[in-house]
A and B are shown apart, each in its own frame.
Chain A
Amino acid sequence: MKRFADLFAELDATTSTSAKVTALQRYLGAVDDADAAWAVYFLSGGKPRQLIKTAQLRALAEEASGLPAWLFDASYQAVGDLAETIALVLPAPESADGLEASLCDWMEQRLLPLRGQGEDAVAVALRAWWRELDATGRFLLVKLVGGGFRVGVSKLLVQRAIAQHAGLDAKQVAARMMGFTDGKRLPTAAQYRSLLAPAEASGGEHTAREPSQPYPFFLASPLGFEPGDGLLDLEVASTDTAQAMQARLGPASDWLAEWKFDGIRGQIVKRAGQVWVWSRGEELMSDRFPELQALAQRWPDGTVVDGEILVWHDEDSASALPGSDRPGRPAPFALLQQRIGRKTLNAKVLADAPVSFMAFDLLEADAQDLRAWPQTGRRDRLEALAADVNVGIGPRLWLSPCVVGNDWAALAEQRLKARELGVEGLMLKHRRSTYGTGRQKRWAGPGSSTEDGVLAWWKWKIDPLAIDGVLIYAQAGHGRRASVYTDYTFAVWNRAPASAQEAQAVVDAIARREPAVPGALQLVAFTKAYSGLTDAEFKAVDAVIRQHTLEKFGPVRSVRPTMVFELAFEGIARSTRHKSGVALRFPRMQRIRHDKPLHEASTLQDLEQLLVKTPAKIGQDHGDGSA
């Protein structure tokens, strides 16, 4: 593992991308394929299924450190990373011999065999290893057990290094690497070698791949969110929307519009008589969705369909989505999330949260790669496939309905119904768009030549809900946010303050640590948020928090209420678990409202109004915007 430790140190000691690629390349050239396979696996984000329970790891580390439990915890809070805490607080080792074994030996001879062993055996092994590893070795050991290297190396960077090492195109390496980091398939030397194999002459790339292999997902770009794209204002201004869309995208008739569903983006692969279901996170999810297995069994071999995995409420038959022949509506994302969390799928679970697939693209038919076809060609072929397979009794292949609108005004009108329909907005796909890799764009705007091929998928989401909250608690973050206060709790007023003075009196009472008087004006915590600000903004807020700390409760600080933030979120629902009575979906900080005095922050009544407008839709975001 010495070489891997050196590579890690080298990657960690530079912020230069090219230096990182060079270091990776040098490493790949120096080690054998089995080691390289594991290094590629870990550095591109692979995580083997948990080998040691975190609680046990922590307990053993505490014991080895000789520190009281509270002090170990305080150290962990300051460092923000368990592996690093362990590396820093354990006493000096007896030797560094542990680094002599190769990375592959560590994984295959030592760590993987731990699975299924009793806690005692794990404890004996871990204590012995810690004695023969230095700080870096201990750090890496814990990371090998749990993954998450956070060394500023992305999967893309690893692919670049492999491509340069093997003299290949990085896109080709990306396609071959699909599924390489899936938690259920551990990397092997043979798999690594297949990443490096010389490119085939006649475009027959897919015939050589493993039958389970999905295609890299093509991702839509957000419309109206990118600074400088001139569409930022679109999200709020509705009157000029049609004109602005016309100017930006050209005639609406060039575009195919679909609903943007809020599920998990997925690819179903049917080859060699078998079915594989992949999530956009390149996780193999076939076992969790027997419904989708049954669905795709009806498809011909050599078929790959792209779409959205959803829980569907069939019983709501009165109100099908516009344009769809399918009765019912998509269920809230939370239901899908709960379903994914289920370990055993008994009849009740399957009945309560039936999973289905909303297909919107066909990537492979008759074992032929269709990705270079124009959007409408693929859509026609997908409809033909549906017509073929939806014969007789059995699960149907449902197609994502096309949203009809003759012009942008009509489509904008449709988009406004999204929240009520339980979808996130519209997807806009250029009729001539091919199917790209990742978040690619190749489209020069309306009127430009499309001869070189177009890559244009946009997601046109509805405006997020927003509320102005007051920062009242703060906690330090993890990783590179260790020891910076980045995780905040926000409050709203229980009613609108009558004046700035009344609000100030409440703040003063809080500063004097007086408990709130029941029924009187007070601030009520309603959500946490920890994203959306730049590093510089976090730094500035961190300084204010430190200056205005009232009390410290372990890692949490209560802060004198002075700062108002605009918080955006995707949904709101009633919750009995929260004091405020509401729970938000994907809350984040939109901006700091320096201009907003405290007494003008939002109220519980404002939240109540949003509740009335929104169907229930709560749960954590999964997979970072699925399209």
Chain B
Amino acid sequence: MNDDLIVQRPQGLYCPPGDFYIDPWRKVERAVITHAHADHARPGHAHYLATAVSEGLLRSRLGQGITLQGLAYGEAVEHNGVRISLHPAGHVLGSAQVRVEHGGRVWVASGDYRTTPGGATPDRTCTPFESVRCDVFITESTFGLPVYRWRPDAELFGQINQWWADNAAAGRASVLVCYSLGKAQRILGGVDASIGPIVCHGAVEPLNRAYRAVGVALPDTLMVSDVTDKASLQRALVLCPGSALGTPWIKRFGDFSDAFASGWMQVRGQRRRGGHDRGFVLSDHADWPGLLGAIGASGAERVIVTHGSIPVLVRYLQEQGLQAEGFDTEYGDEHETRAETAPAPMDPPAP
């Protein structure tokens, strides 16, 4: 174990020969960041290394003044004799797997990722996942159960378009609750913009601008304050985080139908508990076949499983004859449903 290229430390995943961390959750000297979601890209590190395409997102979230080096996908740098390169993860704009090479061994920490099923059209709002061969593969397991199998995008967007069109015909807005970064832009890239105007919440619109700034084509979007013809709101698709639902902002749309876009919507219980009219099974993570496919394609004989269904995936891989173990991390994706919708967790009473 002493030769491991990546180990767990209280600060996060750590590369001993290179003396740097990957997506650390406490402040460190050097951090390699896989993508700009808040649980992976935290403020306060002295040096950041990330993909060049995510630089705008990271600076807008962590501060313009951070010390950040941007890499193109596949471009390598050496640090303390460790060769580091970043490869597309297909999760959100600029998301990367971190390939680490030292002493003839290759490890890949994949952060969060989404694979494109065979034959499907890749997401055009971020570079699709590319498999990287390695000896040891560190994988997430957010949707690490066989019940999570995604339907093709065409079918999903067909459902969303239909819902939107039906609502528009009935004269009510279609409020689609989603993650502001990544999910919202993927939806924008997939819907049929001819159905009606698209209004984005203030948490979403700056991220649309960041996507457009690096050349991702998205349909026209409006802030609600930009809308002069208020009647047009009854035909609108509205993208917002869940926290917006309880605020005065949402009242401007009058009568509306609400839906939630998340991989968790695969399970009826989760869907019904959310109390939304509709749930669309749209995730920026790999489904069960996607996880197994990525693990298989890496060629790794040893797999380390992080955040999500760690015990399930570890046991399954072991039964398939792989060497598998888990790492405890502090990434929050186990509760994607809660992340943007739930109030702060209750504090336990003082002892």
Contacts and interface: CB of A to CB of B under 8 A. Distances in A.
Contacts of B278: 13-14
Leading 9 A-B pairs by shortest Cβ distance: A482-B269, A543-B345, A562-B348, A540-B346, A88-B147, A480-B272, A75-B147, A480-B273, A89-B146
Given A13-B278, A68-B319, A482-B269, A85 B147 contact: yes
A68 B318 CA distance: 13
B349 A594 contact: yes
Interface string A532-573: 000100011101101110001000000000111000000000
Interface in B277-327: 277-278, 309, 311-312, 315-316, 319
Given A547-B345, A562-B349, A594-B349, A78 B145 contact: yes
Nearest to A152: B272
Contacts of A15: 275-277
Nearest to B278: A13
B348 A484 contact: no
A597 B272 CA distance: 35
Residue of A478, A483, A484, A593 most packed against chain B (CB within 10 A) = A483
Contact of B316 (A71, A89, A544, A548): A71
8 contacts: A71-B315, A81-B269, A84-B269, A88-B147, A480-B273, A543-B346, A544-B345, A593-B349
Contacts of B277: 13-16
A71 B269 contact: no
Contacts of B311: 552
Nearest to A92: B149
B103 interface: no
Given A70-B315, A543-B345, A597 B268 contact: no
A483 B145 CA distance: 13
A543 B349 contact: no
Size category, B interface: 20 to 34
A307 interface: no
A78 B147 contact: yes
A563 B269 CA distance: 26
Interface of B: 145-147, 149, 266-270, 272-273, 275-278, 309, 311-312, 315-316, 319, 334-335, 338, 342-343, 345-346, 348-351
Contacts, number: 104
B346 A544 contact: yes
Nearest to B315: A70
A597 B273 contact: no
A81 B268 contact: yes
A484 B274 CA distance: 12
Contacts of B147: 75, 78-79, 85, 88-89
A547 B346 CA distance: 10
Contact of A79 (B269, B273, B343, B348): B269
A266 interface: no
Contact of B350 (A75, A507, A597): A597
Given A500-B351, A597-B350, A481 B269 contact: yes
A441 to B, nearest CB: 28
A580 interface: no
Contacts of B349: 562-564, 593-598
Interface of A: 12-16, 65, 67-68, 70-71, 74-75, 78-81, 84-85, 88-89, 152, 478-484, 500, 503-504, 507, 535, 539-541, 543-544, 546-548, 552, 562-564, 593-599
B146 A507 contact: no
Contact of B270 (A68, A483, A547, A599): A483
Given A74-B312, A78-B145, A79-B267, A535 B351 contact: no
A562 B349 CA distance: 7
B351 A562 contact: yes
Given A67-B146, A70-B315, A540-B343, 7 more contacts: A75-B146, A480-B268, A480-B273, A483-B270, A540-B345, A544-B345, A597-B351
Contacts of B149: 88
Nearest to A478: B269
The dominant DSSP class at the A interface is: helix
A472 to B, nearest CB: 13
A144 to B, nearest CB: 17
Contacts of B346: 540-541, 543-544
A552 to B, nearest CB: 7
Contacts of A14: 277-278
Contacts of B270: 482-483
A481 B312 contact: no
A381 B190 CA distance: 72
Nearest to B259: A13
A374 B149 CA distance: 61
A46 B309 CA distance: 36
Nearest to B344: A543
Contacts of B268: 12, 81, 84, 480, 482
B269 A535 contact: no
Contact of B348 (A65, A152, A500, A563): A563
Nearest to A12: B268
Nearest to B345: A543
B282 to A, nearest CB: 15
Contacts of A483: 267, 269-270
Contacts of A535: 273
Nearest to A484: B273
Contacts of B312: 71, 74
A482 B267 contact: yes
Contacts of A595: 349
Nearest to A471: B348
A484 B267 CA distance: 12
A323 B343 CA distance: 55
Contact of B146 (A12, A71, A503, A562): A71
A504 B266 contact: no
B98 to A, nearest CB: 28
Given A67-B146, A70-B315, A479 B348 contact: no
A75 B270 CA distance: 14
Nearest to A563: B348
A564 B315 CA distance: 35
B267 to A, nearest CB: 5
A70 B350 CA distance: 39
B57 to A, nearest CB: 28
A526 B348 CA distance: 22
Contacts of B334: 546
B326 to A, nearest CB: 12
Contacts of A16: 277
B350 to A, nearest CB: 7
Contacts of B267: 78-80, 84, 88, 482-483
A543 B276 CA distance: 21
Nearest to A78: B145
A81 B271 CA distance: 13
Nearest to A68: B319
Contacts of B272: 152, 479-480
A344 B24 CA distance: 66
A481 B342 contact: no
Contacts of A594: 349
A598 B349 CA distance: 9
Nearest to A80: B269
Contacts of B343: 540
